[in-house]
Amino acid sequence: RAKLDGRGVVRFFQQKLHDELVRQHYLSAQLEEALDNGEFSLHYQPQVSAASGRIENLEALLRWEPAEGPPLSPAEFIPLAERSGVIHRMGDWVIEEACRQQVEWRAKGFHEHRVDINVSGRQLVRPDALKSFEDALQRHGLGPRDIGIELTENVLIEADETVLEDLWRLYHRGIHIAIDDFGTGYSSLSYLKHFPVTALKIDRSFIHDAPTQPKDRAIMEGAIFIGHRLGLEVVAEGVENAEQLSLLREMHCDLIQGFFFYRPMPAKDIDRLLGGFVPGSEGLSS
């Protein structure tokens, strides 16, 4: 290994860290303003039946397009929003917008699909977060077939009594509760026995290499098997090619989400899909 100039390296990383902190501070301040200015929107990514290719659900994914500068990924700004606390307002906005859009779709005659929103752990620190979710549904005249939620396993593990009670209430009302990024948390499988869950979303890291890596394939297959034995719906995330799809179909995975079928897109593009226009369905003719 080449010997590095220690001090030069330290200076380099200090500068990087400094730049990054400045950028984060700047972005946090922008988030509040961006909410006021309506710079956020929801994109929707279809989940299709592995068997039929039919669109069953849509995942709502937050997008930020600042008035100036390029769009930012939620992977970048959600953690910032969590740290600064603006995640609560942002989460309220997401629920409200998803409900509004779903009501609009229903009015247009699109009755089949459900919309699922992402809820982060930090959002549930606010004790009334799930109650305000239920209130929003009620206010919009929506029910369990209309809107569901996605949580990561860590969120369930770390949830306190009140949150769990609320989740159980949602569950008993028939609200769809999916475990997002399944298999990537630091939890034992036993939580699947104790928590209110209706679906597993297998993380895309396992899907990605399943065609070439026996271990990834084993984990993917195992997850589908466990999910089904527990009576859960199983969704594969990040499906990008025909090889992955064909394995998932062989294993009777229920739903497929990924660029191979559809990328996340604005609501108006979803209108065309729900209206019957189906690009990408050629992927299923095998």
Using CB under 5 A as the criterion, which residues of the chain lie in contact with Mg ion when the complex forms? 118, 150, 180-181, 237
Q: Choose from ligand C2E, Mg ion, none: what does 254 bind? Cβ within 5-8 Å by kind.
A: none
CA 214 to chain centre: 26
Residue with Cβ nearer Mg ion (166 or 180): 180
From residue 247 to residue 276, the character string flagging contacts with ligand C2E as x (rule: CB under 6 A) and all else as - is: ----------xxx----x------------
Q: What's the helix, strand, coil split of the chain in %, to 5?
A: 50, 15, 35
With respect to ligand C2E, which residue has the nearer C-beta, 181 or 254? 181
Of 26, 46, 56, nearest to 267 (Cα)?
46
Residue 259's binding partner among Mg ion, ligand C2E, none (Cβ under 5 to 8 angstroms by kind) is ligand C2E
State the Cα–Cα distance between residues 133 and 142, nearest whole angstrom. 11
Shortest distance (Å) from residue 94 CB to ligand C2E? 4
Distance separating alpha carbons of residues 115 and 99, to the nearest angstrom: 9
Residue closer to Mg ion by CB (options 153, 181) is 181
Taking CB atoms, the residue at the shortest distance from ligand C2E is 258
Question: For residues 156 and 185, is the Cβ–Cβ distance under 8 A?
Answer: no
**β-strand pairing of 147-152 with 255-256:** unpaired
| Residues 253, 113: Cα–Cα separation, whole Å | 18
| Residue 221 binds which entry of Mg ion, ligand C2E, none, CB below 5-8 Å type-dependent | none
Interface with ligand C2E, residue 46, by CB under 6 A: no
- In the bound state with ligand C2E, the residue whose beta carbon lies nearer, of 86 and 274, is 86
